[in-house]
Amino acid sequence: MTRPAWLVVGALLLSLGTLSSACSGKSGDGRALSTRSSTATATPDARATLIAAARDAIDEDHRMSVRVLWTNSVPTKPLATAGPALAVLRHSVAVRARRGIRVRLVAEHFRVIRIDLDPSYQRATAIVSDPQRVRPYGRDGRPLGHAVTLNERARLELRRLGSSTRFVVWRVTAIT
């Protein structure tokens, strides 16, 4: 691989490492939950609803991340990404855009390994795995080098929005 292509792949790996990944999930049923944070008062049904809501946030964050790789454009108010995760995503997009790189997802096998709810039900943590093949493209739409195989693993920290059932991906940490 020539030096410029190697730099492109290095930048690609750095950019992809900062992106949040997510999974497919089913929607919660939208039932209202008590705003009390004691685990003793939470029902198993409420817990399942919150886990489904966290999964929905991860799914939406992932869909947006895949779009952002190709378009190098982050929505003004993403539905499921906020805080440090959004700041890192915007920075990553700016770096790729300056270098004239877009990334096409060729194949992936994303999965959520685990979702844990905090006892307060205000936060959740997810571990995700995303083996994938991606291919970088230049400004002119031509491929830069060959497709690259990656095996990303990350810890996602989610925060609940007030007393609603909605969560947002707040922080993404790569797991090596």
Residue 42 has a pLDDT of 66
pLDDT digits (tens, 9 = 90+) for 26-75: 333 333 333 344 444 568 899 999 999 999 999 999 999 999 999 999 99
Enumerate domains of the chain plus CATH numbers.
3-174 (3.10.450)
Which residues touch 77 (CB under 8 Å, ≥6 apart)?
A: none
Between CA 27 and CA 30, with CA 29 as vertex, the angle to 5 degrees is: 105
Q: Mind listing the pLDDT tens digit for each residue in 95-124? A: 999 999 999 999 999 999 999 999 999 999
Give me the numbers of helices (H) and strands (E) for the chain, helices first please: 3, 5
SS3 for 51-65 is: HHHHHHHHHHHHHHH
Q: Which residue type occupies 73?
A: S
Q: Which residue has the tokens 């992809």?
A: 16
Mean of pLDDT values over 136-158: 95
